Amino acid sequence: MTDHRSFLRRYPYVVAFTTVLGLVLGGVAVGTAVIGDREGRAAAAERRCTADALATRWTSGTLFLDARSVDSGKSVLSVRGDEPTQTGSTMKLITASAALAALGPDRRFTTTVVAGAESDSVVLVGGGDPTLSRLPSGQDSVYPGAAHLDDLARQVRAAHPAPIEVVRVDTDLFDGPAWHPSWTESARTSGSVSNITALMVDGDRDDPTEAYSLRSTGAVTRAATSFAALLGPDVRVETTSVTPSTGARTLGTVRSATVSELVGTLLTHSDDTLAEVLARHVAIAEGAGRSFDAVQVGTTKALHEVHVPTDGLRLVDGSGLSPDNRVPAATLTTLMRAVATHRDGLEPVDRGLAIAGRTGTLDEDGRFTGAARDARGHVRGKTGTLDDMFGLTGVTDEVAGDRIAFTVFAEGTSDPATRHEIDVLAASLWRCGGLAATAPQAQGAARSERAAPSERPARSVRSSDTRPPGTRHR
């Protein structure tokens, strides 16, 4: 038998040719397998893609739909996508993004106590932190990482050992009114939102550990009274806002979690009060004002910083609780593309999105079950609900070479089953992936024989049913 080393010395070219041939054939095999797998996934996506047909047959109120490629921005489906409409809590995506742009991810809100005009008085200065908690330090409220009043009180007692007789308040950071006139009183009684003031504790909840807990009409009084009780049993409270003396000595300070962290809490739990306070801070930072009236200018200026178009926007609050807000579906989809790609510092918004069938509002009320069940874990987004509309804006996982950013609004219906129909459409957009624009019509009708989705009026059903009072705004 010939020694293999001798063979290599005598026939080196044969060995080299054999090696190269093996590498080429192996590469072809691997490449063919990759291409085949990609083509197989694309073919499977095309077989399951029904998004266009679902939009055509829509029956749950009036459909507003915009879906487009995350990578290219190319429109894949649109029905009234450019027409402004109600948003519900999908508005919180706009507010969260504006907060990151205008305030920065590391900004914190500070609550301060300064010495009063009299030696026995102190002034509690509201810094616009709705998460400040009256619970003992070490006990969590609904807001993770919240500052605590008892920490502030310990600092004040150490810095002001003399008896304190009165606590006054400075709430001038925000202007009134504290309650938007378009909000229903049921939003308060259901625990959705509080009066929007610069000084409150636990979002003014009766129960700091319960997300949906009754709110009061005296948020400032609750905060000041809770603080005064920590200073002594007979400390008096005055809730008419005062302006501390220039150069008043600081006796204590506590700070909120970062804006980045607050954005995550806002989106995951759809917190209306936190949204409104962030919108107010944005307005102040943008020089627009300190009231509800400043939200429009403040938020739109911040959106320009993240390259989101603002044409057609009417923003009267930051939570979407008002039925007077108007935003085109295409605007939210454009914003979702920026969020999905973590552009312009919007990664915290992406982290705060609910996951279909797993977390947040996309894991409630039977979301993503039945015909939408296979999309659990593959769609992330933010829901929106008002008395006569349902919505979802989100982004899908990659299928057939692309991710899809989308916004779906169904207006003019109070039927809770609409949520499922929205989920089914979102699930189909996930199955379509990059093929959504060329999806075959149901029953095999040729696409060339149909009008484009934007040219077809969706069927509108106006329901006379009303949602029961106190329905949660999600």
pLDDT digits (tens, 9 = 90+) for 261-308: 999 999 989 999 999 999 999 999 999 999 999 999 999 999 999 999
Q: Is the dihedral of CA 152, 154, 159, 161 positive or negative?
A: positive
- What mean pLDDT comes out for the span 118-141? 97
pLDDT value at 189 more than 50:
yes
Global pTM reads 0.83
pLDDT value at 79 more than 80:
yes
Instruction: Provide the pLDDT confidence category of residue 14 given band limits of 50, 70 and 90.
Output: very low
* Residues contacting residue 136 through CB under 8 Å, at least 6 positions apart: 148, 150
On the 0-12 / 13-18 / 19+ scale of CB atoms within 10 A, 403 is buried
Least confident of 73-77, 211-215, 298-302, 455-459: 455-459
pLDDT value at 90 more than 50:
yes
**The pLDDT of residue 47:** 58
Assigned token pair, 434: 């990059």
Assigned token pair, 338: 């920026």
Active-site choice (97, 270, 319, 428):
270
Residue of 39 and 403 predicted with greater confidence: 403
233 near 59, Cβ under 8 Å?
A: no
Assigned token pair, 416: 């809770």
Q: Is the dihedral of CA 15, 21, 25, 31 positive or negative?
A: positive
For residue 382, give the 3-state DSSP assignment: strand
Instruction: Provide the pLDDT confidence category of residue 50 given band limits of 50, 70 and 90.
Output: confident
89 is catalytic: yes
pLDDT value at 437 more than 60:
no
Residue with tokens 């993240």, as numbered in its chain = 306
Instruction: Provide the pLDDT confidence category of residue 436 given band limits of 50, 70 and 90.
Output: low
Residue of 325 and 37 predicted with greater confidence: 325
92 is catalytic: yes
Instruction: Provide the pLDDT confidence category of residue 249 given band limits of 50, 70 and 90.
Output: very high
Active-site choice (69, 78, 92, 256):
92
pLDDT value at 398 more than 80:
yes
Least confident of 10-19, 27-36, 245-254, 309-318: 27-36
pLDDT value at 405 more than 80:
yes
216 is catalytic: no
pLDDT value at 103 more than 60:
yes
Helices (H), 270-409: 272-285, 295-305, 329-340, 347-352
Q: What is residue 174's DSSP assignment?
A: S
**The pLDDT of residue 444:** 31
pLDDT value at 32 more than 60:
no
pLDDT value at 29 more than 80:
no
Active-site choice (60, 69, 89, 322):
89
**The pLDDT of residue 127:** 98
Instruction: Provide the pLDDT confidence category of residue 473 given band limits of 50, 70 and 90.
Output: low
Q: Which of 145, 288, 161 is nearest to 232 (CA)?
A: 161
Q: What mean pLDDT, rounded, does the chain reach? A: 86
Amino acid letter at 240?
T
- What mean pLDDT comes out for the span 178-196? 95
Instruction: Provide the pLDDT confidence category of residue 180 given band limits of 50, 70 and 90.
Output: very high
